[in-house]
Amino acid sequence: MQLIKGSEVAAKVLAECQQDIAALAALGHKPGLAVVLVGDDPASRAYVRSKDKKCRDLGLHSVKLELPAETTQEELLAHIAALNADPAVHGILVQSPPPKHIDESAVVLAIDPRKDVDGFHPVNVAKLALEDSSGFVPCTPAGCQRLLLDAGVETSGAKVVVLGRSMIVGKPMALLLMAKGKGGDATVTVAHSRTKNLAEVTREADIIIAAIGRPNFVRAEHVKEGVVIIDVGINRVEDPGSEKGYKIVGDVAFDEVAPKCRAITPVPGGVGPMTIAMLMANTIKACKQLVGA
């Protein structure tokens, strides 16, 4: 069984980013990412901090905008308009979820699609469906595809089951895997909460991408021998024995499923580190496209 170590692949992606950053610096450009947080949700705050830190570590220009929970929709849209117009900012991300009074889809629509490094704007969703490589692919599924490529997993002609149909993971993942070319050309089935006889569906799969947000949901009976699994899930479960009182587990019951796998990602240390690395890569791509480098 091959353990697909996301931290190692993420380090490779970041090393590639560094080369691009040096090439852009030689031309007088510095990629910039703005991360906007509304409110004080502790998990969101931690995500924003780690994105800001990663930018600074790489030598990117980083703008961290932490706005109070009472920020109005209008005020937030004004901040986004200012970032759209700021030539030092090439990527803009509004941390999800915003407070309830904010209309998230209006926020996504307000971001200049050329700076939409999350890949959530309808223009970028369409570009993904159209296989137009100038668009931005959402970071998590892009990271999963890179993990498969790096692990030497052949997707062409493979039967892939994507578990979950969210706009952040499942749906773009399916589009990437069914696209023509390297890392694609798969026969994709998307399963979700209404799927009947799920175990029968997943047992057919050569590759499973698990993105449902249910701890240890995928069990040994869901998979066939020799399957490759990318576990996107990040779930907190109680762990009274640990210092924090909880631990993070994936959507896959790793201990019982891993022995049947040809390859599998761990949680943590699998998809998680890839997401932030792909965000850096998307920011650099946005910079290159905006400055014409």
Does residue 207 contact residue 232 with C-beta atoms inside 8 Å?
no
Rounded to whole angstroms, the maximal C-alpha distance in the chain is 57
State which residue, 31 or 170, has the beta carbon closest to ligand NDP.
170
Minimum CB–partner distance for residue 50 and ligand NDP (Å): 11
Category of 39 on φ-ψ map: left (φ > 0), alpha (ψ -120 to 50) or beta: left
Convert 47-84 to b/e letters by CB count within 10 Å (16 or more is b).
bbeebbebbeebebbbbbbbbeeebebeebbebbeebe
Select from 10-18, 56-64, 122-130, 232-240 the region that touches ligand NDP (CB under 6 A): 232-240
Is 103 in the active site? no
Which pairing describes strands 246-249 and 235-238: parallel, antiparallel, or unpaired? antiparallel
Using CA atoms, how far residue 172 sits from 19, 140, 144, 183, 193, in Å, is: 28, 9, 11, 13, 18
Is 51 in the active site? yes
- How many Cα atoms within 13 Å fall on the side-chain side of residue 286? 31
Minimum CB–partner distance for residue 149 and ligand NDP (Å): 17
Is 127 in the active site? no
State which residue, 194 or 244, has the beta carbon closest to ligand NDP.
194
Minimum CB–partner distance for residue 277 and ligand NDP (Å): 10
From the list 45, 203, 214, 288, which residue makes contact with ligand NDP (rule: CB under 6 A)? 214
Question: Which residue, 263, 268, 207, 265, is CA-closest to 234?
Answer: 268
User: Residues 20, 95, 115, 285: which is the catalytic one?
Assistant: 95
The interface mask with ligand NDP, positions 234-273, x = CB under 6 A, is xx-----------------------------------xx-
**164 belongs to the binding site for ligand NDP (CB under 6 A):** yes
**96 belongs to the binding site for ligand NDP (CB under 6 A):** no
Minimum CB–partner distance for residue 16 and ligand NDP (Å): 19
The interface mask with ligand NDP, positions 122-141, x = CB under 6 A, is ------------------x-
User: Residues 51, 115, 171, 285: which is the catalytic one?
Assistant: 51
Tokens of 47: 């995500």
**212 belongs to the binding site for ligand NDP (CB under 6 A):** yes
State which residue, 71 or 145, has the beta carbon closest to ligand NDP.
145
Does residue 210 contact residue 163 with C-beta atoms inside 8 Å?
yes
**219 belongs to the binding site for ligand NDP (CB under 6 A):** no
- Binding-site size for ligand NDP (CB under 6 A) equals 25
Q: Could you tell me which residues come within 8 angstroms of residue 205 by beta carbon, excluding any fewer than 6 positions away?
A: 159, 160, 161, 189, 223, 224, 227
Q: Hey, which residues are catalytic here?
A: 51, 95, 118
Give contact residues for ligand NDP (rule: CB under 6 A): 140, 163-166, 168-170, 191-195, 198, 211-214, 232-235, 271-272, 275
